[in-house]
Structures are given as C-alpha cells and as structure tokens.
Structure 1
Amino acid sequence: MLGHSYPGCQTAATGLRTRLTAMASANHRSGTENRLRNPKILCLHGFRTSGRILQALIGKWPDTVLRDLDLDFLDGPFPATGKSDVERFFDPRITSEYRNFEECLDYIEDYMIKNGPFDGLLGFSQGAFLSAAIPGMQEKGTALTKVPKVKFLVIISGAKIPGLVFGQPKAAVGAFSSPVRCPSLHFIGERDFLKTEGEVLAKSFVEPVVIHHTSGHTIPKLETKAEETVVLSFFQRIRQILSDESCSARSLM
C-alpha cells in the first residue's frame, strides 16, 4: 500500500478515507453515562503510512476504550515517494519537508466541514506534529477557521512543528507561544527517538495527561490496566465536557 504524508511531498492526490465507528450498545451504559455522547475524533496518521494502517493499530486498543469513541481515519493528501535527504540521520517515518503545508490544512479543513463536526484530533508521529499545532493555529486565526475549535487532542509520538530539522511553516508560527489550553493526552515511548521532544511538547499544554510506555516510536496497545484506566478516565472527562457544553448551548436557545 502506498504510504501518504500530510505536509510532505509535492504531488497532491486524494487519499482513500476509512472510518471506524466503535460504539457501545445501550446495555453497556446506565444513569448519567447513558446521556453522554461519544466524542467524534479525526485521526491523522504518520509519514509513509495510511489511514487504514492507523486504524488497524488503534483497533488493537481494548474494546472498553474503543466502544465509547467515534473514530474517523483520514489519509494524508500527498503520496510519500522517494527518499528524504536526512533519512540517514533520522527515522524515515518522521523526515519530511513542510512543503504544501497550507494545502494540507485546507484539505483537512474541507474534510472536517464535509464530515464533521469533529470534537477532537488523534495524531501519530507526523500526524501528531500537525494535531498538536492546530489548537494554537486556530486560536491565532491562521488555520482551520471555518470549523469549530478542537476541544481535545490525543498525541502519540509527537513533537512541536518543525519537529527535528525543518523550518517552521508560516501558519504554525506562534502556535505554542502561550500555554495551550486544550485537554490533551500524550503517549511517550521510553525507547522513542522523539521521547525528549514529546516531553517538551506535553509541557506546552495546560495540565496534560501523559502516559509513558515501554516501547519505541509506535502506538502502544494499552496492555496494562493502568494505561487503560488513564485513557478511560481521560475520555470520560471529555464526554462530560461535551455534555456540559451541549447543555449550555441548549439553555441559550
């Protein structure tokens, strides 16, 4: 399968879109839980992978987590072909120039308009770079101004744009100039070459939730009960926030 990129290569192409909706049946919930809707999340994959690959990896999470999420997996708009000049120094999954960055943002915004509204973003690797910068860009009015502001983030193996080596795209300038007040869940691998960058990124958010796992630059399977509990607690908080916002909106009608 041809891998895709978000701001990476020059030739634009419409990627395949895959969707996974994992919802609990009514008998899984009772009382207040039954009135809380599932958050709708747009998922952005890493460099030289695809929406289907990310879907397969996230699909290994426990059903107790997935059943309360509405996940939509999008392919990046640019096919990732050829070799990067810095692959001999850095993991090839992360090396990509930020050409076509604005076109990439327009592509994502258009998808969100047609298929949303989305509550939050989940990003892995390059997709995490992009996801992490979006709340700050929305706040400054430099990107995704035609869709509702992102309410939360799930960042897996992320870092601040420009990441390791490349210049910062104009739209992303100042995205982290002040603490990001967006609920965030960060996964940081102890053997990930981006561990330090991921920790710096997490500190850019107000009260981030951070899970340190024992693997490298990958998506953890949430194999420990402790990890599963933290993730469940985070999404329960998000569902409550969405419920409170919905109630406030109805009261103003």
Structure 2
Amino acid sequence: MVNPTTTNPISKMKKSKILCLHGALLKEELQIWPSNVLERMDLVFIDAPFRVEDEDFPAFSWIHAQVLSQLDTTQMNIMFNESIAYIEEAMIKLGPFDGVLGMSMGACVAATLPGMQAQGVALTKVQDLQFVMVISGSKLDCLGPEVPKLAENAFSSLIQIPSLHSFGENDFTKLTAIELLDFFLDPFVIFHSGGHEVPELDEKGLKVMKSFLDKVQASFAAPKAIRSLM
C-alpha cells in the first residue's frame, strides 16, 4: 500500500532563483514553456543597462552594436565592464540567485559569468553561481575580433557547474553555440528545429529540461562539502 504522505523529494525542494538577461521580451517568450517547468523556477528579469535610441520601441543592449561595428575596443571594454557591474548590483539588490539565464547577446554574457567569477574578476560580492542557462548564445568572440578584456580568460578553464544550452537548426548562432559546448563539463543540450528563439519544449526537450532542473535542485539539499564536488 502506498503511503499517501510520501512525495517526490524533488518536488519539495525550493525553486531555483534565476536572474534572466534580459527584460520583458524574454519574459514573454519564456511563457511558451509548460507550467510544470516554469513553476520550478523563480525568474527575475532585468533589462540591459544601455538604451538603444534608434528603435521605435524600448530596446536595450549590453554593448551597443555601433561600438562593435566600429571596433571601438576602448568603448567596448567600458560598456562591458559597466554591464557586468550592473548585473552584480542587480544580484545584490534582488538576490541571492542560484543561476543565470540568457537569450541571444544576454546568453553570450551569461555564459562568461561563471568563468569570470571563478577567476575573481567579476561577481566577487555575490554567492557562486550554481548553474547557467544559455539560449541561442555563444562565446563573446562571435561579436568581433576583440573580446572584452574582462572576459578574455573566461573560458581558459573548463566550466564545471551544470549548464543548459538551447539552439535551433535554423539558428544563426548554431555553429558558435555548438563550439561553446566544448567549454562546459557535461552540458545539457536542447537542439530544436526552429531558429533564434526560445524553443517550445517537445517530449525530448522537456526530458532534458527536467533532468537539468533535477540535477541543479538536488544539489541544493546536498551538504556543502558534497555540493562542491557535484
């Protein structure tokens, strides 16, 4: 006879608090995920710090496209440093956070954070990230020949925290997204038939997502000495 008080231990664990890069558009796009996935995450959204003035609707950027197109290395470094400081400030004010999630350029930024934090050049005032979720993202060198100085060694060592990577068959970042996988230990991958977008989770994608969430949330209950080895 089944004990009616017995429940799945995973379901009793706290939600993963995740800083999302960035904003209202990403919040809307993530609603395509089923409720039994979203209810396991406490999602907090922030816009990038720099307003894109030539758009007809509110748009924001981590590094202005004009700066990248002009190969203005000095200004690129200034803007990237300000973006990372802005993210850390948000983490202090709104956190603590277990992980980060990014889409497109936000994913490129998110992917660099664990390595920079491990090196002590960023996010030094907040707790260590436990995982990262990268949607249609790649290394920052996809933006041009110069990588922001702060992030130049972000992938010099294998990133060992759990990571989830999602990209599509028709995604213009597909090749660079695949290359990014080599810099993470045992990455979880959702490969879909779409493009540069938050994917609708089919049966296979949902299985990967749930396995990823099970892994990161199981670590919350582990003793610290054990958690550091997971």
Q: Summarize deviations over 1:38-91 as a string: whole Å, max 9, x none.
A: 11000003xxxxx111001001101110111110011111102349xxxxxxxx
* Structure 1: gaps (5+ residues): 1-28, 46-50, 84-93
Q: Summarize deviations over 1:147-194 as a string: whole Å, max 9, x none.
A: 111110110001101323151111101100111111100002111111
Counterpart in the other structure of 1:36 = 13
Counterpart in the other structure of 1:235 = 213
CA distance in 1, matches of 2:147, 2:26: 26
- Would you say the 8 A contact 1:156–1:188 is kept in 2? yes
Counterpart in the other structure of 1:80 = 52
Counterpart in the other structure of 2:101 = 122
Aligned residue among 119, 127, 137 for 2:116: 137
1:66 corresponds to 2:66: no
Q: So what's the TM-score if we normalise by structure 1? A: 0.76
CA distance in 2, matches of 1:246, 1:36: 16
Counterpart in the other structure of 1:4 = none
Q: Secondary structure at the match of 1:149?
A: coil
Q: Which runs of 4+ in 1 moved over 2 A?
A: 94-99, 245-249
Aligned partner letter, 2:17: K
CA distance in 2, matches of 1:245, 1:187: 30
Counterpart in the other structure of 1:160 = 139
Q: Secondary structure at the match of 1:121?
A: strand
Aligned partner letter, 1:118: F
Residue 31 of structure 1, CA deviation: 4.2
Q: Secondary structure at the match of 1:122?
A: strand
Aligned residue among 149, 153, 168 for 1:174: 153
Counterpart in the other structure of 1:8 = none
> Percent of aligned positions with the same letter in both sequences?
40
* Structure 2: gaps (5+ residues): 1-5, 56-63, 69-75
- Would you say the 8 A contact 1:37–1:243 is kept in 2? no
CA distance in 2, matches of 1:238, 1:208: 12
